[in-house]
Amino acid sequence: MKYSASGRKGIGRIALMAVAAGMLLPVIAASADQGQAPAKDSRRSGFEFMGASTQAMQVNEALNPGMLWVKDGEALWGKAVGKSQLSCAACHGDAAVSMRGVAARYPSFDEGLKRPIGLSQRIKLCRVNKQQAEPLRAESQELLSLEAYIAYQSRGMPLAPPADARLKPFIASGLQRFQQRMGQLDLSCAQCHAERAGQRLGSSLIPQAHPTGYPVYRLEWQGVGSLQRRLRGCMSGVRAEPFAYDAQELAELELYLAVRAAGMKMEGVGVRP
């Protein structure tokens, strides 16, 4: 089920509903403007739910296995491909400059598709339309490496989803998907990651599900994976049929998660159990 969001039913309503679910959005500045004491931000990155050894692996770039994908992405950035024989660098120059903060602003609205898309889909569209090359397969080494390299340029920056009015109905749909029960287990994202965050599922702590570390290296995967892979994995876990990669439904959910985590620091490439 989808519903539109306009006026007071837009971002303000979404923020209030998220707070009701136990996840505070960045309303500290608004409280200060009204002369109120700033609300305490209770959001916590998945990093804070990990053990000390896994945290150390993420922080130390020499130990972080995800940096291998970043290095591969750096090489791919300068590689000419496709009929155009253009590289990413040919159009965008030095990624450390041109890509600074870019990953923090995705998903964003795509003019051609008239809907939000994630960073990985933007890379694929650029490769096909600008480089005139074959599209990269979802979760492929090349795609994840480029995404990891671009995300790395925003490490330490606040997640900043676009303030684009065209995104409002998609954010509302993402919120609805976050709260919707699904699968044979009849569970929603919110039931685990909002209502039961910090509790245990088996031997694992349940995180708040903020997308600050993606693409992420997971010890379980022994490799880097996208946020869409994690979302699809959760859907399989509740015995629901996962949405296809790059489906609008996944983009909407990614967008809502970005709004929910707005202002939190980007960690890419993160490390998780």
| pLDDT digits 0-9 by tens, 169-221 | 999 999 999 999 999 999 999 999 999 999 998 888 899 999 999 999 999 99
Which distant-in-sequence residues (6+ apart) come within 8 Å of 271 by Cβ? 50, 54, 57, 58, 64, 65, 66, 213, 216, 217, 218, 219
pLDDT of residue 3: 35
Q: Is residue 192 part of a domain?
A: no
Report pLDDT for 16.
Answer: 37
Is 128 a member of any domain? yes
pLDDT in tens, 97-118: 999 999 999 999 999 999 999 9
Domain assignment present for residue 108? The answer is yes
Residue 25 lies in a domain: no
pTM of the model: 0.85
- Per the structure, the complete domain to which residue 143 belongs is given by 68-152
Find the mean pLDDT for residues 70-80: 98
- 148-180 pLDDT per residue, tens: 999 999 999 999 999 999 999 999 999 999 999
Please check whether residue 59 lies inside any domain of the structure: no
- Domain membership of residue 85 (yes or no) is yes
Work out the pLDDT band at 37, boundaries 50, 70, 90.
low
**Is residue 203 domain-resident?**
no
Question: Is the predicted pLDDT of residue 9 greater than 50, yes or no?
Answer: no
Q: What's the confidence (pLDDT) of residue 26? A: 42
Look at residue 121 and tell me if it is in a domain: yes
Active site residue ranges: 234
Closest CA to 11 of 254, 270, 262, 267: 262
The number of folded domains in the chain is: 1
87: CATH: 1.10.760.10
